[in-house]
Amino acid sequence: MAALKKVPVIPQKRIESIMLFYSQLGELLASIGLERKHQLQAADSAIKDREERLILVLEASTDGFWDWDINTGKVNFSSRWAELLGLSPGEFIPHISSWENLLHPDDSEAPLKSLSEHLEGKTDKFVSEYRMLSKNRGWLWFQVRGQVVLRDQDGSPLLMVGAFF
């Protein structure tokens, strides 16, 4: 009984105003939540629209594109890259070694040096010209440009993207 006497009791006449306050607070929070939901849906729609446009541009381009996960060595080559070399997507391993193995022996030193300098942060972009071996065993000239787009907190490169033509 002593414990019950210590519990504050809200007078009946104040309960109605408290309930009205909580009801209005709930309505306000619901409207904020709905507004945020609409903002997120609009942003999602804008992102999808830009993504579709980018895909159309990439498909219409005669250039090849790639992105390289430097930690794993995995490289995502565009289908245009394979097409330019006369390869089907299943005919090469999506790894940096695939690129290295197709470099002309006389041309490999310059692009590897340029790449190394860029990865070390000595240059803003990776730019190089070299020959690559095509499926029909002929050598094709390419100009390549790329850039590290993601580094860790220590400045080590994580992700690089680029194009070749």
Q: Is 162 exposed, middle or buried, given 0-12, 13-18 or 19+ CB atoms closer than 10 A?
A: buried
Q: What is the arrangement of strands in the sheet containing 139-151, beginning at the earlier edge strand?
A: 75-77, 64-69, 157-164, 139-151, 126-133
Note whether 80 and 64 are within 8 A (CB): yes
Would you give the end-to-end CA distance of the chain in angstroms? 87
Q: Is the pLDDT assigned to residue 162 strictly greater than 90?
A: yes
State mean pLDDT over 144-156: 96
Virtual torsion, Cα 95, 96, 101, 102, nearest 10 deg: 90
State mean pLDDT over 83-95: 85
Q: Does pTM surpass 0.85?
A: no
Q: What is the per-residue pLDDT for 29?
A: 92
State mean pLDDT over 135-163: 94
